[in-house]
Amino acid sequence: MPTYPPTHSIQPETLTMKKLTLSLILLATAVVAQAQITITDAWVRGTVPMQQASGAFMQLSADKDTRLVAAKSPVANVVEIHEMLMDNNIMKMRQIPGLDIVPGRVLELKPGGYHVMLIELKQQLKGGDVVPITLVFEDTATKKQFTQEVQAPVTALGAGNMPMKR
Amino acid sequence: MTFTNRNRVQVLAGTALALLVALAGGCSRSDEPVVGQFKGLDITGVPYGKDFKLTDHNNQERTLADFKGKVVMLYFGFVQCPDVCPTALTRAVETKQLLGADGERLQVIFVTVDPERDTAPILKAYMDAFDPSFLALSTDAQHTRETADSFKAYYKKVPTGSSYTMDHSALSYLFDPSGNLRVAMRHEQTAKDYAHDIALLLKTP
């Protein structure tokens, strides 16, 4: 009566095992895989000689809940994340501990809002220079930190309030 | 319409009429601009912001009288500011361009609230980066405070990590060509708004 070869009764089971194994691998990968960060329109405001500070601006997005917690750059001794706010026509600038990036939303670092503050500059930043900035992110779920570097071109001081058109 | 509602309409109409009369009264003084004419805050006649005595980035002493015949746009700021000050100066460049030939009759003045770090060579280089006609003025710490106070302008040194920043008023003050303080422009306003009010002031005798 059994017309099916024995393999037929075994194969579905093997497939299930394979699927399960594959799923486990995928799941494990998903857990350890860090968020994909997309950084666009990065730029740094140029400086004059002896000027000690400037700001970097960019747009950030991520495919997982992530937090920008720090930044580093070879052009500055100190790099901080800052917030600019207007309070009754008074400009205030403050260091903030970090900025959350929510999937599907672009986090804008732009004049009048947030910026990466470059302090104790080691050199003048001239139009056309490129400033490497290493951004430190933290996966909101796992608290695991990872870095991503961005090459931010310098918009010469006085040449506008936006990334230089290339 | 109920009686109460009709009453309300009458009250509203009366208020509107009273407002019109008040506005017309304002118009009758030909030497003053009409209320609401400026895009910025009309501060004509305020008892503060009468004059200043500061040193420019070429080491020349400056008072308001040096700029007679021009509209002076005065801003308190500092060079190590990564955001608001360069944005204000970028807007000043745009404003001057929008004014066309009249732009020659605009004097942009940047008063530093951070004389400790903003030395004359830095200030000169900073102004030159935007427009060589812009003047940066400075003085010692005490007179900086007195000058800001005389304009009711606020600033405060605030530590940030290893350095410090300056909280400061982000208003731009406009003087008419006779040297009278007339308008306070807000930071949120556009170059077009600034050019509008400056063009109006340039028409005043």
B131 interaction partners in chain A (CB closer than 8 Å): 158
B87 → chain A, closest CA residue: A161
> What pLDDT does A29 receive?
56
Whether B137 maps to a domain, the answer reads yes
| The pLDDT of residue A85 is above 80 | yes
pLDDT confidence band for B62 (50 / 70 / 90)? very high
**What is the pLDDT averaged over residues A127-142?**
96
**How far is it, in rounded angstroms, from Cα B28 to Cα B47?**
23
Q: Which of A49, A53, A77 sits opposite B82 (nearest CB)?
A: A53
- Rg over alpha carbons for chain A, rounded to the nearest Å, is 24
Spatial contact of A66 and A134, defined as CB atoms under 8 Å apart: no
Residues 6+ apart with CB under 8 A from A164: A43, A127, A128, A153, A154, A155, A156
**B49 and B26, same domain (yes or no):** no
| The pLDDT of residue A132 is above 70 | yes
Q: Nearest-CA distance from A97 to chain B in Å?
A: 11
**B11 and B67, same domain (yes or no):** no
Cβ count within 10 A of residue A59: 15
pLDDT confidence band for A33 (50 / 70 / 90)? confident
**What is the pLDDT averaged over residues B27-37?**
49
Amino acid in position B152: K
Cβ count within 10 A of residue B99: 20
**How far is it, in rounded angstroms, from Cα B3 to Cα B192?**
47
Whether B35 maps to a domain, the answer reads no
**B105 and B175, same domain (yes or no):** yes
**What is the pLDDT averaged over residues B71-77?**
97
Would you call B123 an interface residue with chain A, using a CB distance cutoff of 8 Å?
A: no
Q: Nearest-CA distance from A115 to chain B in Å?
A: 8
> What pLDDT does B80 receive?
87
Give the rounded percent of residues in chain A with a pLDDT score beyond 70: 79
**What is the pLDDT averaged over residues B33-56?**
88
| The pLDDT of residue A117 is above 60 | yes
**B11 and B103, same domain (yes or no):** no
pLDDT digits (tens, 9 = 90+) for A97-114: 999 999 999 999 999 899
User: Of A29 and A163, which is predicted with more confidence?
Assistant: A163
Query: Token digits for B145?
Result: 């405070």
Distance of CA A96 to the CA centre of its chain: 16
> What pLDDT does A16 receive?
67
| The pLDDT of residue B57 is above 80 | yes
Residues in chain B: 205
**Per-position DSSP letters for B76-125, written without gaps between them:** EE-TT-SSHHHHHHHHHHHHHHHTGGGGGGEEEEEEES-TTT--HHHHHH
Q: Is the sign of the CA dihedral B81, B104, B46, B194 positive or negative?
A: negative
Spatial contact of A136 and A101, defined as CB atoms under 8 Å apart: no
Whether B48 maps to a domain, the answer reads yes
User: Of B91 and B5, which is predicted with more confidence?
Assistant: B91
Whether B122 maps to a domain, the answer reads yes
**B25 and B52, same domain (yes or no):** no
> What pLDDT does B204 receive?
83
**B53 and B154, same domain (yes or no):** yes
**How far is it, in rounded angstroms, from Cα B124 to Cα B110?**
11
Whether B195 maps to a domain, the answer reads yes
Which range has the worst mean pLDDT, A7-16, B91-100, B162-171? Answer: A7-16
Q: Is A7 exposed, middle or buried (0-12, 13-18, 19+ CB in 10 A)?
A: exposed
State the DSSP H helix or E strand holding residue B169, giving kind and residue range, or none if neither: strand B163-169
Which range has the worst mean pLDDT, A27-36, A58-67, B14-23, B134-143? Answer: B14-23
**B149 and B194, same domain (yes or no):** yes
Which DSSP category does A127 fall into? T
Whether B36 maps to a domain, the answer reads no
**What is the pLDDT averaged over residues A1-14?**
49
**B46 and B124, same domain (yes or no):** yes
**B17 and B81, same domain (yes or no):** no
**B47 and B24, same domain (yes or no):** no
**What is the pLDDT averaged over residues B62-70?**
97
Spatial contact of B81 and B20, defined as CB atoms under 8 Å apart: no
- Among B182, B186, B198, B202, residue whose Cα is nearest residue B43: B182
B81 vs A90: CB contact, 8 Å cut-off? Answer: no
Q: Do the annotations mark residue B196 as ligand-binding? A: no
Spatial contact of B172 and B191, defined as CB atoms under 8 Å apart: no
pLDDT confidence band for A30 (50 / 70 / 90)? low
Mean pLDDT of chain B, nearest integer: 86
**B17 and B48, same domain (yes or no):** no
> What pLDDT does B56 receive?
97
Give the rounded percent of residues in chain B with a pLDDT score beyond 90: 74
What is the rounded (10 degree) CA torsion for A89, A90, A95, A101?
Answer: 0
| The pLDDT of residue A3 is above 60 | no
| The pLDDT of residue B21 is above 60 | no
Q: Which of A51, A90, A95 sits opposite B169 (nearest CB)?
A: A90
Would you call A14 an interface residue with chain B, using a CB distance cutoff of 8 Å?
A: no
Query: Token digits for B12?
Result: 């509203």
> What pLDDT does B17 receive?
43
**B25 and B45, same domain (yes or no):** no
Q: What does pTM read for this prediction? A: 0.79
Whether B161 maps to a domain, the answer reads yes
Mean pLDDT of chain A, nearest integer: 86
Q: Which of A90, A91, A164 would you mutate first to test chain B, the one with the most B CBs within 10 A? A: A91
Total domains in chain B come to 2
pLDDT digits (tens, 9 = 90+) for B155-199: 999 988 778 899 999 999 999 999 999 999 999 999 999 999 999
Structural domain containing residue B5: 1-30
**How far is it, in rounded angstroms, from Cα A110 to Cα A60?**
11
Whether B126 maps to a domain, the answer reads yes
**What is the pLDDT averaged over residues A51-66?**
96
Residue B76's CATH number: 3.40.30.10
**How far is it, in rounded angstroms, from Cα A61 to Cα A47?**
28
> What pLDDT does B16 receive?
47
**How far is it, in rounded angstroms, from Cα B111 to Cα B114?**
9
| The pLDDT of residue B20 is above 70 | no
